[in-house]
Structure 1
């Protein structure tokens, strides 16, 4: 336990602004400097370490590379890929999956048309536009969905064994849309140099703000615990103790073997030892 440090009594929630996608959390009082310390680590973990679901790649019928156009579709492949990156999912599934979509024109391809074959995921922004299919044309597309953390670039989304025409996509897994924090002064008794840290968290709806900060806190705790529990083992203590004893014994042995001529003794002390027939 750490003594003589001011700790927050609890985390307060701003109920006036709280929704399923936005939360404002207040931690106070904090020792000076700890507002920025906690705010920074929470922000980094929230943005980079929380798990989520995203599209990892697509295969469009009749398309062999990502800079193509699709016959009968208004948008080209880069536009379609850009729109697919913005599709948000809610999923507890730990495995990757593939689903197929077929849109016959005239019609709109929206995020809601991406449906899990076995209920592995749920699309949150179902109305988001992805592509427009012209009359007499059909858009056939395979969508690959996976689980991950943070942000993964397209070059890391190219597993072996994928079919010809597979296009890897940058995956934005994080369920956090925005995080910011501010630090203000607060009073404890007569002292006004304590801090209050205000943390604003906005999610995509796949995770609530409350669950987000709780999960981030657990991730931080798991890492910091290694430092909190760090100590040499009993064997290391024993080895060090034995080593010290051996060193002390060796020093004493060398001292006892030193000849009296090599010692810085007075003439009287030297003569007394000689008369007693003591040579070392």
Structure 2
């Protein structure tokens, strides 16, 4: 019998932080959870477009092994700090941003003068610390669009001005992606999959936008492979009414001990051991009655007598009906 492959019905996006969200998709056909999860994760980390600082130039510095007077950080540390700037850019061409600061104090990313095409996400990111009132930090950076990770040694040195330092560029806007796959029940089957992905971005795009872009890239590749085939081998799951079965709470038997007209002390002793009905008393043997805690010899006799009297009344009632 041909088993249908249905598309997942539920997509839930839960924000876990400013730039983090957990996306749950279910139910996937058995085996499709890791298949889809791995494909999305690889595209999210490697193929989404983004922007990064690719070059920097410091006035008075010719290369990364130079020193800058009046600045606490060395040039290598400055390079690492500049690489940590998160940017977004709408310009397809490389665009320059500039920072010029004089006097003691901390220099952060918000001190850059940026054109309208560029947005700095982490404006409080530390760039340098000036330790001399007379010192000046004059820094120019180049922001470019790209994908994935591009090491500095792949940049053409001939295309850079003298004194410009190339930086390793991390263009991808996605910082971390993890996913888990759990089994879920669909009807009688228990091997369907629930895919849960946690995505953290650098703030230039939201996790929702990231997964939409990754899915779009995968869709375009698979559409090309499908060629002229325009059939559909998957479908939407038929909507069936789901009936949740709730177990009925067991009803407590009605307390009918009063029918035996026992003394209250004996009545309470029976209730303490869970005997609350005449039927329960009638099933007790003399030995079981004598084992009940709190019953003396007289009380045992009272219970046994009441039991026998009630049995006799029931038998007399049956005979009268006959």
TM-score, normalised relative to structure 1: 0.77
Alpha carbons of structure 1 residues 109 and 10: separation in structure 2 relative to 1, 3 Å: same
Aligned to 2:13: 13
Equivalent residue number for residue 158 of structure 1: 156
Shift of 1:91: 2.4
Residue aligning to 1:123:
120
Tell me the CA shift for residue 150 of structure 1.
Answer: 1.1
Unaligned runs of 5+ in 1: 232-280
Secondary structure of the corresponding residue to residue 42 of structure 2:
helix
Write the distance in 1 (CA, Å) between the matches of 2:113 and 2:29: 50
**Aligned residue among 48, 60, 63 for 2:61:** 63
- CA shift in 2, pair 1:120/1:160, >3 Å: farther
Give the 3-state SS of the residue equivalent to 1:6 in structure 2.
strand
Report the Cα distance in structure 2 between the residues aligned to 1:115 and 1:221, rounded to whole angstroms: 39
- SS of the counterpart of 2:82? helix
Is the Cα–Cα contact under 8 Å of residues 52 and 88 in structure 2 kept in the other structure?
no
What is the DSSP-based 3-state SS (H/G/I as helix, E as strand, rest coil) of the residue aligned with 1:207? coil
For residue 220 of structure 2, what is the aligned residue in structure 1? 222
| Shift, 1:229, TM fit | 1.3
Match in the other structure for 2:42: 44
Matches within 5 A, 1:75-90: 75-90=73-88
Residue 142 of structure 1 is matched in structure 2 by 140
The Cα of 1:157 is off from its aligned counterpart by 3.1
Relative to the length of structure 2, the TM-score reads 0.67
Q: After TM superposition, list the pairs within 5 Å mapping 1:1-280 onto structure 2.
A: 4-14=4-14, 17-116=15-114, 118-135=115-132, 136-158=134-156, 160-229=158-227
What's the CA shift for 1:19?
4.9
1:158/1:168 contact within 8 Å kept? no
CA contact (8 A) 1:108 1:131 kept: yes
Q: CA deviation at 1:72?
A: 1.3
C-alpha deviation, 1:159, in angstroms: 5.6
My pick for the range that moved more, 25-34 or 74-83, is 25-34
Of 83-92 and 41-50, more deviation after overlay is shown by 83-92
Partner Cα distance (1:224, 1:160) in 2: 39
- Residue 56 of structure 1 contacts residue 169 of structure 1 at CA under 8 Å; is this kept in 2? yes
Alpha-carbon deviation of 1:195? 0.9
Where 2:158 maps in the other structure, the secondary structure is coil
Hey, what's the Cα distance between the residues in 1 that align with 2:3 and 2:166? Answer: 53
Q: Which runs of 4+ in 1 moved over 4 A?
A: none
Cα deviation code 1:11-65 (max 9, x no counterpart): 2223xx4555121111111122211111111111111111111100111111111
Q: Secondary structure at the match of 2:191?
A: strand
Q: In structure 1, what is the Cα distance between the partners aligned to 2:210 and 2:97? A: 28
Question: Aligned partners of 2:18 and 2:228: how far apart in 1?
Answer: 39
The 2-side partners of 1:91 and 1:144 are apart by 11
SS in 2 for 1:43: helix
User: Shift of the alpha carbon at 1:164?
Assistant: 0.9
Q: Name the counterpart of 1:260.
A: none
Is the contact made by 2:6 and 2:28 (CA closer than 8 Å) also made in structure 1?
yes
Q: Distance in 2 between matches of 1:101 and 1:58?
A: 11
In the alignment, which residue of structure 2 is the partner of 1:254? none
Q: RMSD in angstroms over aligned alpha carbons?
A: 1.8
Measure the CA separation in 1 of the matches of 2:129 and 2:96.
22
Deviation at 1:112, TM superposition (A): 0.9
